[in-house]
Amino acid sequence: MIYFEPINKTFNAEPAFCAEVDSVDDLIAAIAGEDCVPGWIDHQPPLMRGSPQSALKPAHWRYDRMRPALIAAGRVIGTDQAERRNFILRNPVAGNQFATTRTLVGAYQSILPGERARSHKHAPHALRVILESRGSYSVVNGMKHPMETGDIVLTPGDHWHGHGHEGEAQAFWFDCLDIPLVQMLEPMAAQEHPDGWEEGSVECHDSEMRFAWKDTQARLDALDASGAAVADIEYPLFGTTYTLDAPVMPTIAIKVHRMMAGWQGLPYRHNASSIYVVLQGQGCSEIGDQVFEWKFGDVLAAPMGERLRHRADQAAIVVELTDEKLMRYCHFYQCQQLS
Ligand SMILES: [Fe+2]
């Protein structure tokens, strides 16, 4: 029989540290220099709470304010001064520098005819929802992807990407990246392309990096025609829903919702934070205790845990960018219909 001796026999010796402690206050004082805190005391903010609650706020950004600002930016800032001519949508909570929701950041971006935004790559996953464009494009790892109104174009982490515009009119889109998540997890890395631009790119119309609007529209039509839309558990909450199949985007789920004019959803709450981008129509969303009237091009932030309810006053298309996929992977996701 083999008996193992304690590796460090000093543990069997009379401990000097804390030997004189005979009260809780003395104990807390004694360990104050050990970079630890007692687990049994109250913490602010608390380590746990009874239900999900985000520190971020419901918020709304109006395209009829941001579009003129982007046009002005086109006059006063060149791509030589701003590698990406964009406005980041900062959640209006004190101390927040850039995050739109806990895990995602959104931005309006614009490019002028004839311009190029040089290629780079970074750890964060990114995508863009095209609001207004004829003739702009993204080059992703050497493949040239058209960016037309209603398209959704992906640039997964560690993929080279740059943007250009061969059309006649200024192009506008909405960017979404998981930068807040990457900053929290700390694998951030970014790099400029050594040539500044990926020359010799190949035109690509069929790619897992691009969801063309005509294909998205066909998928929504098919869901409605087959009856699958109304059978979907999401239909009472957010109308006909087409979830894009984008395995290259593990942290951002992309859902396209179509609501008929006059459609009114049921209230719900779920364990995910979302950004809504209005592609068509107008309507209203209740997020927490706030009510936001929205129309084409507007963006809303719906933080985790808020009561949600949506309504369409005109036939509407809303793109939802959400960390729901991440929440499901972690087994955190729940969705509750409310009365
Ligand atoms: Fe980028």
Ligand 1 centroid, distance to 18 Cα (angstroms): 54
Contact predicate 221/142, CB 8 Å: no
Ligand 1 centroid vs 196 CA: distance in angstroms?
A: 13
* pLDDT digit string, tens, across residues 102-121: 999 999 999 999 999 899 99
Tell how far the Cα of 25 is from the centroid of ligand 1, in angstroms: 52
Q: From ligand 1's centre to the CA of 111, what distance in Å?
A: 14
- Helix, strand, coil percentages in the chain from 3-state DSSP, rounded to 5: 20, 35, 50
Spacing, Cα 174 to ligand 1 middle (Å): 13
Residue of 249, 206, 308 whose CA lies nearest to 104? 249
- Quickly list DSSP for 135-160: SEEEEETTEEEEE-TT-EEEE-TT--
CA-CA distance, 226 to 12, in Å (whole number)?
A: 74
**Distance from the alpha carbon of residue 195 to the mean position of ligand 1, in angstroms:** 16
Contact 142, 100 (CB under 8 A): no
Q: How far is the CA of 37 from the centre of ligand 1 (A)?
A: 40
- Cα 317 to averaged position of ligand 1 atoms, centre (Å): 26
In 3D, which of 155, 154, 151 has the Cα closest to residue 133? Answer: 151
Share of the chain above pLDDT 70, in %: 96
User: Which pLDDT score, from 0 to 100, does residue 261 have?
Assistant: 97
Question: If you measure from the C-alpha of residue 180 to the centroid of ligand 1, how many angstroms do you get, rounded to a whole number?
Answer: 14
Q: What distance in Å separates the CA atoms of residue 222 and residue 161, rounded to the nearest whole number?
A: 32
Measured in angstroms, how far is the CA atom of residue 192 from the centroid of ligand 1? 10
Q: pLDDT tens digits, residue range 18-50?
A: 988 999 999 999 998 999 989 998 998 889 999
- Tokens 């990114």 locate to 126
Q: For residues 197 and 279, what is the distance between their CA atoms, to the nearest angstrom?
A: 30
CA distances from 7 to 3, 11, 12, 15, 17 (A): 12, 9, 10, 16, 20
pLDDT-derived band at 4, boundaries 50, 70, 90:
low
205 Cα–ligand 1 center, Å: 21
Using the mean position of ligand 1's atoms as its centre, give its distance from the Cα of residue 127 in Å: 9
Question: CA-to-CA distance for 101 and 302, rounded, in angstroms?
Answer: 8
Distance 59 CA to ligand 1 centre (A): 24
Instruction: Give the count of beta carbons closer than 10 Å to the beta carbon of residue 319.
Output: 22
The dihedral region occupied by 332, where left means phi > 0, alpha psi between -120 and 50, and beta the remainder, is alpha
* Domain boundaries, given as residue ranges, for the chain: 59-211, 214-337
Dist. CA 298 → ligand 1 center (Å): 22
Tell me the pLDDT of the chain averaged across its residues.
93
* 59-211 and 214-337 share one fold: yes
**Domain topology for 214-337:** Jelly Rolls (2.60.120)
Residue found by looking up tokens 């929504």 in the block: 220
Q: Give the pLDDT mean for 320-329.
A: 97
Q: Which CATH topology does 59-211 take?
A: Jelly Rolls (2.60.120)
Distance 161 CA to ligand 1 centre (A): 6
The alpha carbon of 324 and the centre of ligand 1 are apart by a number of angstroms equal to 22
| pTM of the complete model beyond 0.85 | yes
Predicted local confidence at residue 140, as pLDDT: 95
In the chain, the percentage of residues whose pLDDT exceeds 90 is 82
Residue 130 has pLDDT above 90, yes or no: yes
